[in-house]
Structure 1
Amino acid sequence: MSESKVALVTGAGQGIGRGIALKLASDGFDVVVADLAVQEEKAEGVVNEIEALGRRAIFVAADVSRKADVEAAVAAAVDQLGGFDVIVNNAGIAQVKPILDVTEEDLNRILQVNVNSVVFGIQAASASFIERGVKGRIISAASIASIQGFPILGAYSASKFAVRGLTQVAAQELAPHGITVNAYAPGIVGTGMWELIDAELSKINGKPLGQNLKENVDSISLGRIETPEDVAGVVSFFASENSGYVTGQVLLVDGGMLYN
């Protein structure tokens, strides 16, 4: 087994996932960059960035809504990087629709990607940790929408409330093995997901492109939009020895939007 620790980050080809992967690499982790096969070019770019930091990295194509893909990504961490200590269930999608317009297909899709993937990640990671006697870390993507439901984001809010519940349950069940389970709850991050949300809100309420985003950013106490690096700092904490006595928590990292 390698001396360095190994982290697996899903959805790591861009956005928040890329920021997390690079931060963990700077913390000394070797990293499995997992993302959809169609994101391979971007993901390989992240692999190169990690290697430039002096760490090892591999790309693994994975559709996190498929249990077998998540299990294969975990296996690749052990087989190719020689260890596996942290999983970051980061991959997710947004949907912007009034609750009355959410279709069966919409609901199935967002639950498969945002909820099922977290269950599969918890299962695959904990099985590997327990088998190898590793007191590993499971870290998942929640959202401010896991604490408060937001209009026009009904299915998304429901999926993130589910992540919060799974985090609390898994933390209790896995504590006897020394495995901690936590989640991070970003607010408005300047990535493609919020560009999508802004565009869809514009269609619904008729405000010009960019106006919905600006109004939301204006509500942030710290007065600026969130960056992937802001989120990555919290994940870094959860992956570090500093959080050894923290489990079952969802930590808001939103610049001061919600107070819980």
Structure 2
Amino acid sequence: MAINGKVALVTGAAQGIGRGIALRLAREGADLVLVDLDLAKLQAVADEVWEMGRRATHVVADVGDREQVFAAVAHAEAELGGLDIMVNNAGIAQVKPLAEVTAEEVERIYRVNVQGTLWGIQAAAASFKARGRKGKIINASSIAGHEGYALLGVYSSTKFAVRALTQAAAKELAADGITVNAYCPGVVGTDMWVEIDKRMAEVTGAAIGETYAKFVGGIALGRAETPDDVAAFVAFLAGPDSDYMTGQAPLIDGGLVFR
């Protein structure tokens, strides 16, 4: 197990990709701090981690609130003895023409997707430096962080911003032995994509499921992505085989966007 005995904190861990990442890191030997807004779902994931023979604790927190993110890291230190891996996975989507986006909507999505990532970087880096540890910070970007999509324009801009934060943090923290990378999923069969498909249907008049099927039809490997596909790559970023990699945001999308 590549990260046996390490402590990993995963935001947005109650479901979807975050849950998949948490369970994969547990299989790789890590103890988990699970962060999300849904207490019942967090407890269920924590129970799954304990059943694997790893320790788990959970924190209900809003990643858009800097103090709550720092408190979650402090919880990791108090309950599990430290922090080695920070996965800033939490995020929300928005489907809307740019001409119709409101100031309140922009503030909300940037607060979660961009500020939430920044606070996670800050809190993890402070913890690593205080303990003299070479830590790993892993951020959630997207194929929409490499290419802007119609009706997903503001969401795309937040994921471009995550790539920028990843690159800047990698340069600033390298001297401390801290690596910072991102992962860029494509069309993952989660509740987020169910909601995206529904909203696309409302805006474009397409049938429910049509937008999802259209995107999946463009994937070279011929199927939709699963949380486990994403989690496998995050496990690589969390482990020692990626020690010489920093500031990168690779696509893990089955062959949908090519760069």
TM-score norm. by structure 2 comes to 0.98
- Please name the residue that 1:67 is paired with: 66
1:115-141, Cα deviation, whole Å (9 max, x unpaired): 001110000000000010010000000
What do you get for the CA RMSD once the two structures are aligned?
0.7
User: Structure 1: how far apart are the matches of 2:30 and 2:74?
Assistant: 17
Residues matched between the structures, number: 256
- Please name the residue that 2:129 is paired with: 130
- Please name the residue that 1:184 is paired with: 183
User: Structure 2: how far apart are the matches of 1:108 and 1:22?
Assistant: 31
User: Structure 2: how far apart are the matches of 1:61 and 1:205?
Assistant: 36
User: Structure 2: how far apart are the matches of 1:25 and 1:83?
Assistant: 16
Once superposed, which parts of structure 1, at least 4 consecutive aligned residues long, lie more than 6 Å away?
none
Aligned pairs for 1:94-243 within 5 A: 94-243=93-242
Task: Find the residue that maps to 1:216 and give its secondary structure.
Answer: helix
For structure 1, the residue ranges without an aligned partner over 5 or more in a row are none
User: Structure 2: how far apart are the matches of 1:27 and 1:62?
Assistant: 25
* Structure 1 residue 8 corresponds to structure 2 residue 3: no
Letter in 2 for 1:169: A
Aligned pairs for 1:240-259 within 5 A: 240-259=239-258
Task: Find the residue that maps to 2:250 and give its secondary structure.
Answer: strand
- Please name the residue that 1:27 is paired with: 28
User: Structure 2: how far apart are the matches of 1:162 and 1:235?
Assistant: 19
- Please name the residue that 1:81 is paired with: 80
142-151 or 203-212, larger mean C-alpha shift: 203-212
User: Structure 1: how far apart are the matches of 2:113 and 2:220?
Assistant: 28
Task: Find the residue that maps to 1:250 and give its secondary structure.
Answer: coil
* Structure 1 residue 47 corresponds to structure 2 residue 46: yes
Give the C-alpha shift of residue 207 in structure 1: 1.1
Give the C-alpha shift of residue 251 in structure 1: 1.1
TM-score norm. by structure 1 comes to 0.98
1:93-122, Cα deviation, whole Å (9 max, x unpaired): 000000001100010000000000111000
